[in-house]
Amino acid sequence: MDLHDYKDVAENYDRYLEVMYETENHYTGFQEFYLELARKYGSGGVVDIACGTGAVMLYLAEQGIDVDGTDLSEEMCKVSMEKAKERGLSLAIYPADMTKFSSGRKYSLAIIARSGFMHLPTPELQKAALQNIYEQLEDGGILTLNTFDPFPPYQTSQMASSPEDYKFRLEYTNSDGKREKIYNAITYDPVSQVMHGNWKFETLEEDGNIVGERIRPLTMRQTYRQEMKWLVELSGFEVVEIYKDYVWNKADEKASPCIWILKKKQGGK
């Protein structure tokens, strides 16, 4: 299981992300970014893959975009469905693996926001996901997804870490009104390019005493930019553009987040 498969994580996901982004916000303007993409490319329908608790999907739906959602985590899908109902939205949201999902329709735009694609731990699974998404898109359809250029100083630090080397990340108030502290421990394998880690949640009483602890696993793969370009080509896409942020600044040669805009090639792979 992964971090996002747990009920307690899904229920509190929005709560701790809100706190996290106050100091670590790499996502300024991301909802508006996807809305602009949807208005430009989404006339044939949009699918939000790895939709999580619906930050992108619900925003697009409220702006009148025809959008479906899917996520590997059933718990995340349940949270996003409840949020949709609260907002009076009737959406198709269903749990599915991005390497296999099919809703029975074609889309003109597919979105994998944030780090959804990076949770595929092998090149084989990454390629399988890209090839499956290819089949779900209309000819000329657009796929956007995110990766991070591996950054050697971080890799070196993570290679020297152990699964018990927890570092404080943030404190927030959970869905039960309790204070919780989150700690991360992350290691990196340079051969597989996979980050293995654990998130530790400590539940606190008002006096600061710890009354509960949960450990939740997290696995993500780092993909080099040139490697990604080959995967894209092998899977029937071409690169339209790569951005380093959500305000349309193009990626340069420096290590940075990569927001890929990919186009399904006309006439097949």
Q: In order along the chain (269 residues), what is the average pLDDT of each group of 10 residues?
A: 90 94 82 98 98 97 98 96 97 96 96 95 97 97 95 91 92 96 95 95 94 96 95 97 95 89 82
Beta bridge pairs of residue 69: 48, 93
Task: Please give the Cα distance from 269 to 265 (Å, whole number).
Answer: 7
Task: Please give the Cα distance from 136 to 117 (Å, whole number).
Answer: 16
For the range 255-259, what are the long-range contacts, defined as Cβ-Cβ under 8 Å and sequence gap of 24 or more? 255/149, 255/150, 255/151, 256/148, 256/149, 257/26, 257/146, 257/147, 257/148, 257/149, 258/146, 258/147, 258/148, 258/149, 258/225, 258/228, 259/33, 259/144, 259/145, 259/146
DSSP tally for the chain: helices H, then strands E: 7, 11
pLDDT, position 139? 95
pLDDT, position 269? 55
Closest alpha carbon to 145 in 10, 263, 53, 252: 263
Q: What is the pTM of this model?
A: 0.94
pLDDT, position 221? 95
pLDDT, position 22? 84
Beta bridge pairs of residue 182: 170, 201
Closest alpha carbon to 129 in 106, 110, 153: 110
Task: Please give the Cα distance from 220 to 194 (Å, whole number).
Answer: 6
Q: How many CA atoms lie within 13 A of 98 on its CB side?
A: 30
pLDDT, position 222? 94
The alpha helices in 30-72, defined as continuous H runs, are: 30-41, 55-62
